[in-house]
Structure 1
Amino acid sequence: MGKIVISMNVTLDGVVQDPTGDDGFERGGWFPQVGEEDRKQWAELELEEALRAEALLLGRGSDEWFAARWLPRTGEWADRLNSMPKYVVSSSPREPRWGNATVLRGEVVAEAARLRRELAGEIVVYASARLTQTLLEHDLVDELRLIVFPVVLGAGERLFGGTSAARPLRLAGTRTLGDDLVVLTYRRR
């Protein structure tokens, strides 16, 4: 049985919107505000995670965003991300942009549950806040890895929206990256 892992960059106040500033959000661009050593250690962590992952599970928008940035790249991290299996949740008839991807056109919860049953390793969700909220609502998230950036935006799309019930988690680990980043890992109770 697989494990669905949410791996998300988030501000101190829980905002996940437009970390690179590419989407035009007036408070976007908070990702590159940390130091070089922080970014270096972040990249090392992300490479480790990609090498461990069995597959990626993404929303359509995240598929497009990542494809535009990773398809032209080379190197160990790019090669791993570009070659690994990807499952893209989409109601659109468009094909995924990132290679080695399968569109999941059925009901999201049923499809995610099926992947979790059929795959053996980590199924990592990157940068897909709405998908994350849906998975949390239906108790399909096994682990949350939040990379917390030291900024409070005060506005923007937040990772956690309303849920129909409390979702208890337990702290499974903390780790600092560089001078300013913290990785918080939570697992289902």
Structure 2
Amino acid sequence: EYVTLYSFSTENWTRDEEEVGALMALLEETIRRETKTLVEDGVRLKVIGRLHELSERLQKAIAGAVQATSGGTRGTMTLAFNYGGRAEIVDAVRRLVRDRVPADDVDESAIQKRLYAPDHPDPDLLIRTGGELRVSNFLLWEVAYAEIWATEALWPDFSVSDLDQALNSYAKRERRFGR
């Protein structure tokens, strides 16, 4: 019911300016092109990250797509854009401070409520493409008990067959949640 895609990390700003510009343009173009399909398919779009650091034009495109898909009931697709797991935790702590939450009242629930997508369930499965065996600053709080599946396939080449393999592997696992 929920899928989150890591589209652009807070660390990606250090890339070549031309590459960053191309990625921003690609996101805007993709959002404008795919919003109608998401609406038709009943998929709600959510975008998480430090969106206030994006151009006003891109913020408007994102807000328009999120609003247009807000009635979707068949699933939620979240794009993590200008996102970093550490940045998300820092931002949650800043919200705790701004909300003047007493130290004795700070617990997992208080932090969870201040994450970028507090209403989303934690991921059950983290799929890593490109043969990487690390979480790469992605949903650090949320993936605490996620199962991880890795493939050598690069993201653009990730296929339905790869997804089937990941889901079949996941289905055979016994979730222990730290126990």
TM-score, reference length from structure 1: 0.39
Q: Which has the higher contact order (CA 8 A, sep 6+)?
A: 1
Structure number with greater Rg is 2
Structure with greater helix percent: 2
